Structure 1
């Protein structure tokens, strides 16, 4: 006698893991984040304070998402294995139920995490430093301490630069500047990142603001000259390529009539910069 199966007993291990992941609550994810940091932090003397931090994180119900990664992964893989985008608006909404004293306590916890992150950064452990900055951002009150949040985003951007995660670093610099539009370190970092990623116009605009805030900034002055020349060179190259494509298209259209673009000459008026087109029956 044969037994029939409805297929429910054949669910793959991957499907079960996926269902388990989907059933996890935000609180479980936060618990995992804090517990991992408690295990990995080299400074153990403040263990009790960090346990208090874990309770504080759970009570504040921060909004964030992340994926696990091993310490052995290469730095260049960092951007592909972690999603640490923080919902500042969600945090702001959650903070409305906190007292001023609770907000102050959360800010102090965030300061401690930032200091520990700075130490890890100095030691070259950029991944763990970035994680601590992320947890600090989850705690630091959004409306009450904008400058502190700007610094945390700026520090995390610096860690991501070291990890070659340029796109994420640009996003963090931009977040920092939303909290403090005149934050010089974030402006300089973003200007460099824009230039490194061939976003020359954006880089030029950042350096213009840097020079406006600090006219004595030599780096900004040199960058303005360098970028202006690079942008002009790029635009000329693009114009040449565009004219070449237009010429090829024109020759294709004119060929049935026994003509080519050589029959038409463009002349620029030096006084106005405008162009006129002259027809030449017998071009040389």
Structure 2
């Protein structure tokens, strides 16, 4: 998964601090590529890295892009000044540092750079260079030497090219190198048009070894003003400048070190060395105020099981994050981890509160799922804690009293309390269904009866109340099915104790099933409605019934014989009630 620009930047800063410059360049380049908008700090950081690598041309290009994006940011001109100084462009370096100071008079790095440029200018002007300044000031110097047959091969050595570029700022330095590096004699002769009758080194397979001491091109020390000398010996003054520290998160110079500490903390965290991880995250926070370090510290505290400490850390993260104007996504993570900590402490109310706060900052599917799951768990927990058989019985008796007094709403309320106190008792749902039916709330009554039957499949009273409600809403076919099931259960468990009541309801449902509807429905309309009834359609498609009806047309007595079969009797009765079979005028 691709990282964000800020994440690439942080890794680049860490690589820069570790002097892994090639890696830093790669990471800053990736940050620039994925950044949604041009970011001047990214170009500034890459420019500083190039300067550290003595690649001043690349450093200057990035510095110019930095100041183009944000012309009012003084530190971008620090980068321009450093790059120009490394290239030996003292006048341009001076102008860049002056511009930085115009924008920010307290820019110490710019003031130090300007002082260094001026010392170098004074040193250059105080020493005779025998025309070397003009010689090395040629902007086409390197290209011309690459094209010259005598020097083309020599110019393939990057260290030699860098040395020649440095002579542009300090031509006097060549005096100490000229006789130690025969290649320079060849180059000087070529530049001055002098034939020294020296062998052509361009095809030599062995180059003289570079000096390893007192080389101006490899010095990383901050140049100091040379002491006055009584001789005419040229001053070997360094021409490179130690780059100032990176800018990160609006230029907190310790951010790169903090990121290194964070990386060490992450390594310890993955190794389950949580105390070590906490110490590293603390160090990162002390070095730079980024609440990501606090979030990480809380994660280590969480894994230790120190949930209270984690919550305190996250409270600090949110408070500091508001002051630092931290990204709302990071603050959302703080709230989410507070929710996780409270969940571990079994404080579900608080967990829900902080999951909601997290979603207010930034909505994510993961936290939304945690919220929904915790809310459901809390509801179950509260319901379990509310269960009390004694309180349930009190509510049942109270509901019975209200029902007797025909106070149906109060009866519903009491039976609801009974259900909460004893959710597995089928009587609560059945009794509430009876009260709901009195209030003409038949769909809800049917629903409660279904719950009662689910709790106790042999609770016959729930079947009877359900069938009554189904008849009330003219679901006659469904009512007959309910009554069939009730008859079977009653016969198996109660020796048919409720048979009479079930049969009465069955007759009521059957007789009303195909009665003309309100509005003086004609017999033909009743017939058409009956033919659309699902049960009538199933019966009419039954091959046995089709055969019986066909036989009855020629032998009506045969129909009576077939009706001795209970199943056939039931189906024939349904067809008679529907008017499909006429037994006389109705």
TM-score (norm 1): 0.44
- The structure with higher relative contact order (CA 8 Å, sep 6+) is 1
Bigger radius of gyration: 2
TM-score (norm 2): 0.23
